[in-house]
Amino acid sequence: MSAITGAAMVAGIIGRPVTHSLSPVLHNAWIEAAGLNAVYAPLAPTADGFRALVDGLRGGVIRGVNVTIPFKEEALAAADTASDRARLAGAANLLLFRADGTIHADNTDGLGMLLALEIQAPGFDVGAGPAVILGAGGAARGAAAALALAGVPVVRILNRTADRAESLARDIGGQVTVAAGDDALDGVNLIVNATSLGLGGGPGPDVDLAKAPETAVVLDMVYKPLRTEFLQQAAARGLRTVDGLEMLIRQAVPSFEAFYGQAPPVNVDVRALALKAVGESA
């Protein structure tokens, strides 16, 4: 392990619970491989302690933090400035503490999704046709904002609770619409599972993938298990698949760059480490 001195660059992640977050595994592996004098620490405030913690970090006490459940909306609200993608998603997973005391919010979740598509579905053109997002929670919002900003012509939201799909579409606006029942998969280019269905094993979302064109790509944000039932169904139908672990790893890259001023090293297999941490074999 590289030496950590009083001059170390410090960043971390705020969540509750934060115990099972993979971010410390990823960032600390990159730090070690790059030989940086840096740390990435997990921070778990009480349910109402987020704002006090973040305000206490103003002025560059530490470089920045990632933010995870349940604080992503509060993170955006705590910031003084925000990127378009964070504002549109209504949530932030990255806060940067500037020396002048201000806080900048960003959201790299959607970027992680786009990078994962590039890596696991090479040549795929996300803007070539409609996308369907299954779910209407925070994860779906981040995905919808990123796809809208990436110029996807139509982003259809399909959710068990129609009200939530409608408010998501209303909030983001533009190309984001509520899916119309059976026609949701018509001519679709990309299908994203942003529900929690399939987590821990068991059935994924109840959509008939046979209705999707064979050129469609399917991404599942659930990464435990890595090969979810939904991805298995997609593969059986002959569709290209992208897993949630790649998305998780890729969303961490811009955070690392922002915290430590350099790209993560490529000579460490963080995917294998993350798989081990979630109890899957590489």
Asked if residue 45 binds ligand ATR (CB under 6 A), the reply is no
- The active-site residue out of 72, 211, 224, 276 is 72
- Catalytic, 72? Answer yes
Which residue of 21, 66, 93, 195 would you call a contact of ligand ATR, by CB under 6 A?
A: 195
The H or E element spanning position 14 is: strand 9-14
- Whichever of 136 and 190 has its CB closer to ligand ATR, that residue is 136
The sheet with strand 64-67 has its strands ordered as 38-43, 9-14, 64-67, 94-97, 103-106, 81-82
Which residue of 197, 212, 231, 249 would you call a contact of ligand ATR, by CB under 6 A?
A: 197
Q: How many residues bind ligand ATR (CB under 6 A)?
A: 14
What are the Cα distances from residue 164, in Å, to 103, 192, 221?
A: 30, 17, 19
Which residue of 2, 161, 257, 276 would you call a contact of ligand ATR, by CB under 6 A?
A: 161
- Whichever of 68 and 97 has its CB closer to ligand ATR, that residue is 68
Which residue of 66, 68, 93, 159 would you call a contact of ligand ATR, by CB under 6 A?
A: 159
Contacts with ligand ATR, 130-149, as mask; x by CB under 6 A: -----xxxxxx---------
Beta carbon of residue 245, minimum distance to ligand ATR (angstroms, whole number) = 16
Asked if residue 196 binds ligand ATR (CB under 6 A), the reply is yes
Asked if residue 76 binds ligand ATR (CB under 6 A), the reply is no
- Whichever of 244 and 264 has its CB closer to ligand ATR, that residue is 244
Which residue of 58, 98, 164, 211 would you call a contact of ligand ATR, by CB under 6 A?
A: 164
Q: What is the spatial distance between Cα 162 and Cα 128, in angstroms, rounded to a whole number? A: 27
Q: What is the spatial distance between Cα 128 and Cα 138, in angstroms, rounded to a whole number? A: 25
- Whichever of 143 and 275 has its CB closer to ligand ATR, that residue is 143
Shortest Cβ contact with ligand ATR: which residue?
137
Q: What is the spatial distance between Cα 60 and Cα 109, in angstroms, rounded to a whole number? A: 24
Asked if residue 98 binds ligand ATR (CB under 6 A), the reply is no
Q: What is the spatial distance between Cα 114 and Cα 279, in angstroms, rounded to a whole number? A: 26
CB 66 within 8 A of CB 94: yes
Beta-carbon contacts of 236 under 8 Å, excluding residues fewer than 6 positions away, are none
C-alpha closest to that of 42 among 63, 70, 71, 22? 22
β-sheet bridge partners, residue 14: 43, 67
Q: What is the spatial distance between Cα 85 and Cα 112, in angstroms, rounded to a whole number? A: 12
- Whichever of 38 and 66 has its CB closer to ligand ATR, that residue is 66
Q: What angle do CA 227, 233, 236 make, to 5 degrees?
A: 105
Beta carbon of residue 31, minimum distance to ligand ATR (angstroms, whole number) = 27
Chain residues in the site for ligand ATR (CB under 6 A): 135-140, 159-161, 164, 194-197
Enumerate the active-site residues: 72
